Chain A
């Protein structure tokens, strides 16, 4: 249910996120509340903005309390406002979970952590389009938007209230204050103008651990790109000897057992792009994960050919992550390095187990393309 106060809450959140009124950030404190959720203690972040006032210095004051204890007993640590002792707090030694981090905040943290540049969109610069929607009534506005009925009603109400309305001669004359206008809000229409194509090799050599790595890496990539583009589309393509487009769920779960023909995936991508995402309107990203074992050298040739001639001209970025598999790493990474090592549209990076994920992500996304 909508509450009147919702707009104040929204405004406050915007200020806290630094979207408006940047100067108020100085007065912000990151407080927290310790709550309980089941058996866990949770820390609930509580940003506050305290507008400064003339107040007494709290440290220089005597306060009054109630309870046991003798003079000189310590009530509580002072919180080290002016250079505390550097000791750890004496909070209960239970495990405290953080809650309530939105994906936007997550992406922001990740961006800071990995030092990722913001992405410069190519093609059409306007990522968002806005349309106007008439949402309310206001006392000011252009005459062309005057709401005749509301204005009339207001005038009638005023005349009745002031006793100037005569039912026998029902003439209602609006004055300046009676006028009501339609107001509109600009409603951003997210234009999905970025699409990520995830390509994963699901052949027999990719084990569950490899898929887990792909899942984690693609989650973070997804999160980052989501924060950069409104309305991001994702396409998932899996392949063994043959490729097909699947939904997210299938993408992460399928385990096939055939051989590996990478060019089949590229063909599928090309088809998807041609059908649904013309590159002049879309920022296209292709992330490919594989253990690097391709069926034949001949197919690898085909892949390089396809990439160079048809895929790369359409893509913002082509990233290839080679996941180390139980059967050792394949050849594909090296095969690509030679023709594309210098191409700035191409990022090639090995992922050595889970620890390698951040490095790979940084490599993939730090191009800012």
Chain B
């Protein structure tokens, strides 16, 4: 599949790369390959990689992508992988303008991959890694049977999202030490302060002594608990502690490492696409476009950034927000004085040229993920200008209805969607629940219930991995509940409160 780039494209790449560098973009070497549509569809189904481990869901993606292509509903123009070198694909037979646009866009992504901190821990040799994963899974299939391995992968995929979204910022990435306070258990005294006998009831009131004793007991109990602290990285916990065969452990490890690899891409979708779109615009309109290409370019670009009422286009939101930040920092619309100014007329006129805009957006692309990006830079003005709104299900009318155009509401809904990647927050709290070696998970309820039928299915998958009953404490319709699966059937009971 490696075909050397045709000369005109190779020359184009040199031009595009030069422009990208002139703006201060930095990246690993970028390698373009020209592929036909079938190969492109396969790459897309494999999420950009030339090879993935055998699994039916890639086949499903392939069916959808290729049908959608064959009926002219969608066409994949561009694909780029976070890797060193950064691989990107061009669709054979696209016009030179399209290739130019894609190249410029790709350099935006390449810069983002290289410089954004959320990507700093990702495996930059992932192309090799996925190929190795594929080989290993194939070998397990040869040895243990296609269906056995596939079933296990299905179970692992049901929990592939249960990883630690902040892992990149933990000191000991992935593995946490147990609490190392070995002396804490050696408490011989009863906590009594020395006092004269007649003062003793006042210095050491019995109810306080009793309370302290209880706290000590609880602390000791907590130290004995395993895991000592709730574990967000459920996959990592299972990898180390579930009773798995060697091949199963390896497969689970493969799924976990791929899940961590893809995590930053989920966390920075809006920024990443916004950044790449920002730069393809700058590079094409400022340097690379020929006169005759302007209309086609505009048509293509507006298609990419088109908006639809029921959907938020990450390209559009991202590029506009970056432009807004650049504008605000160029005109000095930041800092305390700006925040405290409530004279609308003055705000509209505000212009204190600083020229800091470009520098600011480079800093933003280095330090932020979508969640912090929107938390920090989404403004009421921006929401109004871009006509954002929230919508929700109206049960009475059985329809999706515009709920609000209030800034606070919009921001809250956006942040909720982005917190923990929009997935529920789930921890392992006890691996010896009820002193019977059962696994207890906890869902930190953030105002929205779990989709219950699915939750039960996931618990069944977990029970197959843990090989003992598995429980999940959550809140259903305002009531604390413990859902579970004991290996043969679903369990559900009401409890007083969700485990701490």
- Measuring CB to CB, which residues of chain A are less than 8 angstroms from any residue of chain B? 1, 3-5, 7-13, 15, 20-21, 24, 27, 33, 35-37, 42, 44, 46, 48-49, 51-78, 80, 84-85, 138-140
Contact = CB atoms under 8 A, between A and B. Distances in A.
Contact of A80 (B147, B159, B398): B398
Contact of B54 (A8, A75, A76): A8
Given A48-B60, A73-B401, A76-B310, A61 B416 contact: yes
Given A5-B59, A64-B410, 7 more contacts: A12-B56, A12-B60, A59-B395, A63-B413, A65-B308, A65-B391, A73-B401
B239 to A, nearest CB: 18
B413 A7 contact: no
Contacts of A46: 63-64, 67
B450 A42 contact: no
Interface string B59-75: 11011100110011100
Contacts of A4: 42, 50-51
Contacts, number: 225
A67 B38 contact: no
Interface string B34-62: 00001100100110001100111111101
A12 B402 contact: no
Given A65-B388, A67-B308, A78 B455 contact: no
B195 interface: no
A24 B57 CA distance: 12
A62 B413 contact: yes
Given A65-B391, A66-B316, A74-B399, A20 B147 contact: yes
10 contacts: A7-B54, A8-B55, A54-B423, A54-B454, A57-B448, A57-B449, A64-B414, A66-B316, A66-B388, A70-B402
In terms of DSSP, what is the predominant structure of the interface of chain A?
A: mixed
Most interface-central of A12, A20, A63 (chain B CB within 10 A): A63
Contacts of A35: 71-73
Given A71-B402, A74-B400, A80-B398, A33 B390 contact: no
Nearest to B405: A71
B393 interface: yes
Chain B interface size band reads 35 or more
Q: Which of B147, B394, B401 is packed against the most chain A CB atoms within 10 Å?
A: B401
A37 to B, nearest CB: 7
A31 to B, nearest CB: 9
A74 to B, nearest CB: 5
Interface stretch (B150-158, B180-188, B243-251): B150-158
B161 interface: yes
B42 A84 contact: no
Given A11-B59, A12-B57, A57-B450, A74 B397 contact: yes
Contacts of A42: 71
Contact of A61 (B51, B150, B392): B392
Nearest to A140: B142
Contact of B402 (A1, A58, A60, A72): A72
Q: Which of A11, A15, A77 has the most CB of B within 10 A?
A: A11
B454 A52 contact: yes
Given A65-B311, A66-B386, A74-B400, A9 B59 contact: yes
Contacts of B401: 72-75
A61 B450 CA distance: 11
A26 to B, nearest CB: 8
B59 A68 contact: no
B59 A54 contact: no
A56 B311 contact: no
A75 B71 contact: no
